[in-house]
Structure 1
Amino acid sequence: MHEPLVLTEKVDERYHYGSISKHIAKFQIGQVVRHRVFAFRGVIFDVDPQFANTDEWYESIPEEVRPSKDQPFYHLFAENDRTHYIAYVSEQNLLADDSDLPLSHPDIPEWFDLTGRGTYELKKHSTN
């Protein structure tokens, strides 16, 4: 009979063993959010439990406003007064948008249905 494996040292929480994150996302897919600082809003279409973009992208953010990588990051169909684009935003920089103003990003109809309540519901074929 084999002896059981026993953990002899404290787990280092800086590492995500087995790629399982301890983070719980505050926002959900289909939710409309706005940026805390910059004048844009959008609908969430994907969530990373922690930073999952390139180091180059991360380093391009000025250090004084660079968010921690150790938090959920959200993919948004984003828009402002001038244009539509895809944004990648840390949880700390997002707020729920309760304005009820419709979004006009051209990719939204392909991914979401607008419900009678004014919310966005992910279409079945958009799930992975």
Structure 2
Amino acid sequence: MTTQSKPRRARFSIGQTVRHKSYRYRGIVVDVDPSFRMDDAWYADQTERQPPKDKPWYHVLVDQTEMSTYVAERNLLADDTDDPIDHPDVEEWFNESDEGLYTPLSRPN
């Protein structure tokens, strides 16, 4: 009898604001990959401490910039501020409520 492990649930969800543990930037999650999905050359070039590839990775719009990042789950914390995210692409991805919460726009497949 084989035991199947449950798929690991992502800690952060689309529309959630997060903060990078080391670099301290804030951002908003626009997509979640259940495991690393970039190429090996990018991984070797971009990561200092080689986060695990088999855990969730996040596409994040970086606050107060025009940049986006691809970040391993272990490098993120939930952001505890209510400040809105200032990024030119936020309106392409989300509706913002009065409470500072972001709801994903429905996107065609």
TM over 0.5: yes
CA drift at 1:96: 0.3
Is it true that 1:76 corresponds to 2:60 in the alignment? Answer: yes
Partner in structure 1 of residue 40 of structure 2: 55
Identity %: 42
Structure 1 distance, partners of 2:62, 2:108, is: 19
- Counterpart AA for 1:106: P
Higher Cα Rg: structure 1 or 2? 1
Instruction: List aligned pairs for 1:35-114, cutoff 5 A.
Output: 35-63=20-48, 65-79=49-63, 83-114=65-96
CA gap of 1:100–1:51, structure 2 versus 1, over 3 A, is: same
Gaps of 5+ in 2: none
Q: Give the aligned length.
A: 109
- What's the TM-score, normalizing by structure 1? 0.76
- Counterpart AA for 1:73: W
- What's the TM-score, normalizing by structure 2? 0.88
